[in-house]
Structure 1
Amino acid sequence: MTTPCDTLLTEVESDVRMTAAAIGFDHLAPAVSDALRRVPRHAFVAPAQRDLAYANYPLPIGSGQTISQPYIVAIMSQLLGVGAGDRVFELGTGSGYQAAVLAALGVAVYSMEILPELAERARITLQALGYDQVQVRTGDGWLGWPQAAPFDGIIVTAAAPRLPEALLDQLKPGGRLVIPLGAPGGNQELALYRKGPAGAVTGHNLLPVRFVPVTGGLGRSAPPSDKESSPP
């Protein structure tokens, strides 16, 4: 029997094939596909939206934010190139769905959300689903999470006007940063950056996307709270 999740995965794989020239692969890695299959997306959307939870497009989650399109979540997860035992910093927890997919890959996730109500809601959802390897903190993600650095991968789930230097500093040599770059309402590009063994950073744009913008002081606000909670 075909489930809504099966249909979603078929659509995501179709989108991956159509954009293969841009993203550099033509199918999802089995681990990423399995993670997408195992994470219950309906748990991360509002009850009124749950009949749309397995549609391949973003949905509103309140506070002007969205849960990303599953295709975007899948390709960003794969572009990070991380797996079991790795550590990832996420700027923008949102609903917690992206963090849950990474956790399903066996990754320890340190996620920062500037909106307290979203951070708390994501924390409760992730905890209820047993994603204990995800830690959520309320604060300005532009500053990263220095106490948990360095990271094998860093993922930014909101459009940024420029590369965040603090996050590059917290990325391990050999690590990857996946980030949408561009102005809100303007042209945005999903970009992949790699940090070489000697610390040099190289990167390139992959494909046009549309994300909500990064909010906060872009590094100029106060340090994040010490209160922790245990991708158009």
Structure 2
Amino acid sequence: MTDAPALRARLVDVLRADGGLTRADLIHAFATVPREVFLADGFHDREQGFLRPDDDGFLDAAYRNDALVTKLDDGRPVSSSSQPSLMALMIEELGVAAGMRVLEIGAGTGYNAALMAAVGADVTSVDVQPDVAARAAAALTAAGVGNARVRVGDGYLGAPEGAPYDRVIVTVGITGVSPHWLAQLRPGGLMVAPIAHAGNNPVLRVWTEPGDGRARPDWPARDDVWADGVCGAGFMAAAGPLGASYPWAHPAPVRADGPIVPTVRVPPRWRQPVDGLRYHDLWFAVGAWDRRATSAPFDGGTGCVLLDETRGGGAAIQADGAILAAGAHAESYAGDAGILLDRWVDLGTPGIERWRAAMVLSGEPEAPIYVPREWALVV
């Protein structure tokens, strides 16, 4: 199939079947905004390598429900066009609507901003990479989008010249929320952001108690900032203050050359493994209960691991309920993982959307961030 409108219609069908695309105005946006215009400099396809607009398969790949890497730095992805189903879910979760002012942190290709603009929002997108921002701005112009703009700058600072905003959307993996965004958000406004948790970046909905005061320039601690779980996800990690650590953070993901080889194997407890979304629900719960949880390669696959102090052992919980453990305390870690797995099952296998945490100030003293403190299940 080489006809762009037909490919857009096929993508809409996929997104509606996925369940994240339900609104008529956003359906129209996905059906009319030309994603290929925002990929004019090409992208890295997992099957065909780097594809440019004149290459065979470019258009078809551009309209798959995939994240597309558009920039590498020493082989590491540093910019991309997010998976369309995740874009749809985040825009719908945020309730972006006509007339709203939206601050976007991380411009990517500009496609996400164009979709929000197509439903009638006024979008200001900020990206720290000048070349990424320039390409996104050029693509918005080429696509005829007049109500979205791209600014080069430190995303941590937001874009005060366009404040106040009704919504904030973050499209890069962060460890916490900038107080500047809260200061630039209208009372009662909402934010969605992929915030680090147990080696992943699940999407969280951040909100404040109605009627409470706004953050002041000296960023005193507040007790009115909350985060709710939305869905599991993976994003490229931000650098600088938005990627700062804090005392109770989970261990950083393990990026080893080879997998950890287990010495203890607990058999699967389910004949049919849970699917990807449900596995992320389990992973989130494990991370909410145990600060040792992170992402690590274990016996050929990467997943949820209780990591020991050596970062070379611990226990992995797999999608079929099997537990693999290694290291000097493998038996003990396997037992702990089993207790956590039992707890999730006993509570009815709660999803990410069942979790809530207060956000507290931490990170670097000169550039603090609000991070989740203690997660609890909500009824």
Q: TM-score, normalised by structure 2?
A: 0.52
In structure 1, the partner of 2:104 is 90
List aligned pairs for 1:94-133, cutoff 5 A: 94-133=108-147
Task: Say whether residues 1:173 and 2:182 are aligned partners.
Answer: no
| In structure 2, distance between residues paired with 1:165 and 1:41 | 32
Q: Deviations over 1:37-74 (max 9, x none)?
A: 11111111212543311100101111422100110111
Question: Is residue 90–residue 154 contact of structure 1 (8 Å, CA) maintained in 2?
Answer: yes
| Match 1:62 to one of 62, 71, 96 | 71
**Displacement of 1:82 after TM fit?**
2.2
Partner of 1:208: 232
Contact 1:114 1:216 (8 Å CA) reproduced: no
Alignment partner of 1:213: what SS? coil
TM-fit CA distance, 1:84: 1.4
Q: How far is 1:215 from its partner? A: 3.0
Bigger CA drift: 99-108 or 36-45? 36-45
Shift of 1:33: 1.0
Which is bigger in relative contact order (C-alpha 8 A, separation at least 6)? Answer: 1
> What is the aligned counterpart of 1:13 among 16, 29, 35?
16
Measured after TM superposition, the shift of residue 172 of structure 1 is 0.8
The letter of the residue matching 1:131 is V
Structure 1 residue 79: Cα displacement: 1.3
Tell me, in whole angstroms, the C-alpha distance in 2 between the residues paired with 1:51 and 1:29: 25
The match for 2:210 is: 197
DSSP 3-state at the match of 2:96: coil
Deviation at 1:210, TM superposition (A): 0.5
Aligned residues: 211
Q: TM (normalized to structure 1)? A: 0.84
Name 1:140's counterpart in structure 2.
154
Rounded Cα–Cα distance in structure 1 between residues aligned with 2:233 and 2:10 = 23
Aligned residues with identical type, % of pairs: 35
Moved over 6 A (4+): none
In structure 2, do the counterparts of structure 1 residues 31 and 129 end up closer, same or farther at CA, with 3 Å as the change threshold? same
In 2: Cα distance, 1:172 partner to 1:191 partner:
18
Alpha-carbon distance between aligned partners in 1 of 2:187 and 2:206, rounded to the nearest angstrom: 11
Instruction: Give the unaligned 5+ runs of structure 1.
Output: 18-26, 222-232
Letter in 2 for 1:203: A
Instruction: Give the Å deviation of 1:201.
Output: 3.2
Contact 1:140 1:217 in 2 (8 A): no
- Is 2:49 the partner of 1:35? no
- Please give the secondary structure, in 2, of the residue aligned with 1:198: coil
User: C-alpha deviations, 1:115-140, integer Å up to 9, x for none?
Assistant: 11110011111012111111111111
Q: Give ranges in structure 2 of 5+ residues lacking alignment.
A: 43-52, 213-223, 243-363, 368-379
Give the number of the structure whose residues are more often helix, by fraction.
1
CA distance in 2, matches of 1:215, 1:53: 28
CA contact (8 A) 2:102 2:167 kept: yes
Superposition CA RMSD, Å? 2.1
**Which stretch of the first structure deviates more once superposed, 2-11 or 97-106?**
2-11
Q: Secondary structure at the match of 1:188?
A: coil
Q: String of CA shifts for 1:75-94, please: whole Å, max 9, x gaps.
A: 11111112111100000001
Is the 2:176–2:195 Cα contact (8 Å) retained in structure 1? yes
Give the partner amino acid of 1:187.
N
195-204 or 96-105, which deviates more: 195-204
Match of 1:50 among 51, 55, 59: 59
Distance 2:176 2:191 in 1: 13
- Max Rg structure: 2
Counterpart amino acid of residue 239 in structure 2 = T
Work out whether residues 188 and 211 of structure 2, in 8 Å CA contact, stay in contact via their aligned partners in 1: no
